[in-house]
Structures are given as structure tokens and as C-alpha cells.
Amino acid sequence: MATHMPLRLSIRTQDHEDPVTSVPPSTVMHGLTPPVTPTMGDISPSCGSETSISSRSSSFVSEDGSKPRDLYQKDLHPLRPLQYSDDLEYLYDPKGRPIEYGRGVWSVVHKASSRPSSKTPLMTPPSSPAAGGKLVAVKSPARRDAHAVLDAEALALTRLNKIRGADHHIVPFHGYIPGSHSIVMSAIPLSLSTYIEEKADIAQKHKTTRTMFDPVGGMAQWHGLAKKLITGLNWLHTEAQIIHGDIKPHNILLKSRPSNTDLECDGFPYEPIFADFSSAHNITGSSMSAEKATGTSLTALTPPFAAPELLSISSLTSPDSRPTTATEVFSLAVTLLAAATGDLLLYPGASNMQRLAMAREGHRVIEFARSGPNGSRVPRNGAVEQVVKPAILKDPSQRIRPDEWVELVNSLA
Ligand SMILES: Nc1ncnc2c1ncn2[C@@H]1O[C@H](COP(=O)(O)OP(=O)(O)OP(=O)(O)O)[C@@H](O)[C@H]1O
Ligand SMILES: [Mg+2]
């Protein structure tokens, strides 16, 4: 949907080498070329070599899993994304078309089967029986200028996946194929946006006065979802020291739980995890200055979910404007509001222009939601308001911090 397409905030060109994108080609190429040739944006013959675009780089744990380290110390500690070494086979529908899990501004995500490679005896052991292939999702660039974005995302995922707790909070990453700039992840075919739409649809068909004051998927489920996502955001900011950069229901995937953990399911029957780190950047001060020095700047934001301070004209045109911990708190709060009302557009009935204007007044989003058809699902002083309100304050410095937010959401019955 057009209103959910991220806007590119700023792109600078540079003529020196981008530390993130200079990934040496793999000597042994496994995996196949993606089934579609990603050439949409490849019009100018010079654009690939002269334009270097990178999402902001991140600080993570070092190779040995110890302290966070600045990516820009690459000369001291060369870093490359984890290479994907197994074999991949893309899967096709009965009409011979490659099966897509989804697509975004930068990329297309295909369904594929992964098998241990016969050529690499040193590969990591497969996590599934060797006989059957394991289903994976392969994210490949949909346009030439996405190559650098995916290179940087692969590096981010390489580091993030080494941090303790990663398996609970972010999409499992299996490796990177430099030749096609493809990222191989576990296949997680359900997104939070689809879940919200499905619950909204069911709620619409079975409207009852008994449930009209609850979130569309039920209060216990919403509360469980909120606890997990807020805990996940706190992990991203404190443990992983990363700003995701584009938090919205479409970039949150819902992992199924093994059926024997039902007792622990805490109201929400899935494990919500963050995906799409194409706009991620690090939090630590040292890297920030290094980023400034490199002149790389790129981020995407999606108007209804982006904090209002990022949507002002001056922000949209400034290369220094970027998501912060406070803007992420806002984005997750409105994501949770959408999960309560079932309205992914947040501002029902508005045109795109009106919606942008309302998003610029995002601190009033509860008020706007209340005047919409599902306003009853956000009762005054109810759990949804208590969780969302302190996270959407106009002044970013006044918004609740993720650690305080975890306490708040856990304190609600
Ligand atoms: N691991 C996965 N398993 C299944 N589907 C996935 C997976 N990762 C992504 N998808 C699907 O593909 C879509 C696009 O992926 P992603 O958001 O990472 O791409 P993008 O091009 O960076 O998107 P955006 O437009 O948000 O920047 C997702 O919204 C989701 O529906
Ligand atoms: Mg996305």
C-alpha cells in the first residue's frame, strides 16, 4: 500500500570507498541467482560505481562475542558478513513463477529450500534433517541502488545474531551471498500487519458489545504482544545498541511457537520478532561521528508509523535527521495502537495528504483513533491507553524510555 511505503530521507553520494559495501566476493559461490533479475533502478550505467548508499552502520559485539565495537574500526578488525555456504533452490508455484513471501521498497523476498552443500565440508551443521531441505526466505535487491543497503543489512544481521537473546527478538539470519547481494533467513511467513488485518476482519464480522472495548485480537493477546515487543525494543536499544529505523507492523514477523510451549505463551500465541534492518544504525556516540565523517546517510520511514519530529519539512530535507530511541518508542507505540484498533492506516477515512498531516500531529494519535470506527477499543485509562500514551508525547525527550516501558507494561494486570 502506497501509504506504507517508506520514504527515502536522504541519500548522499560519495567518491571514497564505503566501508560497509566493500565486501570481497566469495571464492566459493553457493546459492543461485535470484529468480528475477533485479535491475529496476539500473538505468544509468554509472550509478552503481559512483553512488554509494548505505544504511547507517551499527555497533555490535565483536567476533569473539565480547564488547560492542565500532564498525569503523574495520582497519583493525576487518569485518565481513557471515557467508552463506549451503545450497539454495528457489521454489516455484504451479505456473512456474517464483514464490514470493513479500517485497518492499528495496527488495523482494523469495521462498527457497536450503540444503547442506556437498562442496563445503567445513560448513556449519544444518539445523534440520539432512535429507529434507529447510525452508528459508531469501531477500534480494529489487533495484541496483539496493545492493549497498542489503550489504549493510547483512553485516548488521551478522553482528546482531551473535548477541545473547537474538533468537528471541530478531529474525534468524543464515548468511549472505555477496554475488547476488542476497540475505538468507529463516522463513517466517506471517507478519504482524497480516495478523492485524485478519483479526480486524474477524472482529468486523463478529461485532459484539462484549468485545467492542477490547483490542481486535483480544486483550490478553494484545497485552502479551505488547510485553514481547517492548521487551524486544529494550533489547535492541540496550543489549544490541541498535536503532531499527523503520518499526511498523510490516517489519515485525510472527514466529510460531512449538506446541509444547503453549503454557508459556503469555496471551499471545506467537513470538514477535523484528525484521528488515535495512534502515538500522548504531546508537553509540563514537560511530555517530564516524558516520558523519563518512558522509553516508540513508534511512527509510513510513509516515503513519514515523514519529512526528521526523516528518516535518525541515527533518525530511535534512541529512542529519534520523530515527532515535525516542522515535522508535513512538513507532512501536503506534504499532501497538494499530494492533488494538485493527486499523493499519491509523487515521481511518483520511486521504493520503490528510494522513500525512495527521501523522505530523502524531502525539494526538489516540484522539484521532478514538474518533474513528474502532475508537471504542481504546477506552479511557484502559490498558491500551496506559501503554501507548507515555510513548507518543510530542517532546521526544519526555517519552517513556524502553526500560521504564518494560516495567510499565509488565505492571499491568
Ligand atoms: N524471513 C522472512 N520470512 C518470510 N517473509 C519475509 C521474511 N522477511 C521478510 N519477509 C516479507 O517480505 C517483505 C519485505 O521484506 P523487508 O521488509 O525485509 O524488505 P524491504 O525491502 O527492506 O522493505 P521496506 O519497504 O519495509 O524497506 C516483508 O514485509 C515480509 O512480508
Ligand atoms: Mg520492510
Smallest CA-to-CA distance from 267 within 257, 252, 277 is with 257
Query: What Å distances lie between residue 94 and 91, 97, 336, CA to CA?
Result: 10, 7, 38
Q: What is the pLDDT of residue 262?
A: 53
State the cell numbers at 157: 544481521
Question: Both 11 and 136 in a single domain?
Answer: yes
185 C-alpha vs ligand 1 centroid, how far in Å?
11
Helix (H) or strand (E) holding 297: none
Pick from 2-6, 255-259, 292-296, 409-413: least confident: 292-296
Answer positive or negative: Cα dihedral of 72, 73, 76, 81.
Answer: negative
Q: What is the pLDDT of residue 34?
A: 56
Decide: 109 in ligand 1 pocket, CB within 6 A. yes
279, part of any domain? no
Confidence of residue 28 (pLDDT cuts 50, 70, 90): very low
Q: Which atom of ligand 1 is nearest to the CA of 146?
A: 21
Burial group, residue 157, by CB count within 10 angstroms (0-12, 13-18, 19+): buried
Q: Of the residues 151, 167, 186, which one is the last residue of a structural domain?
A: 186
Distance between CA atoms of 141 and 143, rounded to whole angstroms? 5
What does pLDDT average to over the chain? 78
Question: Both 196 and 344 in a single domain?
Answer: yes
Decide: 169 in ligand 1 pocket, CB within 6 A. no
The proportion of the chain whose per-residue pLDDT surpasses 70, expressed as a percent, equals: 71
pLDDT at position 123 over 50? no
State the cell numbers at 33: 541467482
Question: Both 246 and 174 in a single domain?
Answer: no
Decide: 171 in ligand 1 pocket, CB within 6 A. yes
The protein residue with its alpha carbon nearest to ligand 1, atom 31, reads: 102
273-308: b (≥16 Cβ within 10 Å) or e: bbbbbbbbbbbeeebbebbeebebbbbbbbbbbbbb
Give 275's Cβ-side CA count (13 Å radius): 32
pLDDT at position 294 over 50? no
Burial group, residue 49, by CB count within 10 angstroms (0-12, 13-18, 19+): exposed
Question: Both 144 and 97 in a single domain?
Answer: yes
Counting ligands in written order, the one closest to the CA of 278 is 1
Q: What is the pLDDT of residue 40?
A: 33
Question: Both 123 and 102 in a single domain?
Answer: yes
179 C-alpha vs ligand 1 centroid, how far in Å?
20
Q: Which atom of ligand 1 is nearest to the CA of 187?
A: 3
Give the environment of ion ligand 2: residues with CB less than 5 A.
Answer: 104, 251, 276
Confidence of residue 345 (pLDDT cuts 50, 70, 90): confident
Q: What is the pLDDT of residue 79?
A: 72
Question: Both 119 and 248 in a single domain?
Answer: no
Q: Which range marks the domain in which residue 357 is found?
A: 192-274+302-411
pLDDT at position 336 over 80? yes
Contacts (Cβ under 8 Å, ≥6 apart) of 163: 60, 61, 239, 240
280, part of any domain? no
Decide: 274 in ligand 1 pocket, CB within 6 A. no
Q: What is the pLDDT of residue 221?
A: 97
Residue 227: CB atoms within 10 A of its CB come to 19
State the cell numbers at 342: 485493527
157 C-alpha vs ligand 2 centroid, how far in Å?
15
Decide: 137 in ligand 1 pocket, CB within 6 A. yes
238, part of any domain? yes
Question: Both 227 and 161 in a single domain?
Answer: no
Counting ligands in written order, the one closest to the CA of 105 is 1
Percent helix, strand, coil in the chain, to 5, is 40, 15, 45
Counting ligands in written order, the one closest to the CA of 250 is 1
Query: What Å distances lie between residue 331 and 86, 372, 392, CA to CA?
Result: 36, 20, 8
Smallest CA-to-CA distance from 303 within 251, 348, 250, 246 is with 246
DSSP codes, 245-272:
S--SGGGEEEEEPPGGGGGG-TT-SEEE
Contacts (Cβ under 8 Å, ≥6 apart) of 278: 55, 104, 106, 107, 149, 150, 152, 153, 245, 246, 300
pLDDT at position 249 over 60? yes
252 C-alpha vs ligand 2 centroid, how far in Å?
8
Smallest CA-to-CA distance from 183 within 10, 14, 67, 38 is with 38
Counting ligands in written order, the one closest to the CA of 101 is 1
Question: Both 156 and 197 in a single domain?
Answer: no
Helix (H) or strand (E) holding 201: helix 192-205
297, part of any domain? no
Smallest CA-to-CA distance from 239 within 288, 169, 290 is with 169
Question: Both 158 and 214 in a single domain?
Answer: no
**Most distant pair of Cα atoms in the chain: their distance:** 64
Q: What is the pLDDT of residue 319?
A: 74
193 C-alpha vs ligand 1 centroid, how far in Å?
11
Smallest CA-to-CA distance from 287 within 68, 38, 29 is with 68
Question: Both 223 and 170 in a single domain?
Answer: no
The number of folded domains in the chain is 2
pLDDT, tens only, 362-379: 999 999 999 889 999 999
Question: Both 198 and 177 in a single domain?
Answer: no
Q: Of the residues 186, 212, 228, which one is the last residue of a structural domain?
A: 186
Contacts (Cβ under 8 Å, ≥6 apart) of 35: 90, 92, 98, 110
Question: Both 19 and 68 in a single domain?
Answer: yes
Please identify which residue in the block is written with the cell numbers 542476497: 182
376, part of any domain? yes
383, part of any domain? yes
Decide: 104 in ligand 1 pocket, CB within 6 A. yes
State the cell numbers at 308: 512526528
Decide: 38 in ligand 1 pocket, CB within 6 A. no
Q: What is the pLDDT of residue 261?
A: 57
294, part of any domain? no
pLDDT at position 243 over 90? yes
Smallest CA-to-CA distance from 109 within 210, 185, 208 is with 185
122 C-alpha vs ligand 2 centroid, how far in Å?
33
287, part of any domain? no
Q: Which atom of ligand 1 is nearest to the CA of 107?
A: 21
pLDDT, tens only, 37-96: 333 333 222 222 222 222 323 333 333 333 333 433 443 233 789 999 999 999 999 999
pLDDT, tens only, 174-228: 999 999 999 999 999 999 999 999 999 999 888 888 889 999 999 999 999 999 9
Asked if 35 contacts 385 with a C-beta cutoff of 8 angstroms, the reply is no
- CATH number of the domain that 365 lies in? 1.10.510.10
State the cell numbers at 339: 494492533
Counting ligands in written order, the one closest to the CA of 149 is 1
- Kindly state the average pLDDT of the residues 406-411: 97
Confidence of residue 342 (pLDDT cuts 50, 70, 90): very high
Decide: 140 in ligand 1 pocket, CB within 6 A. no
Q: Of the residues 127, 154, 186, which one is the last residue of a structural domain?
A: 186
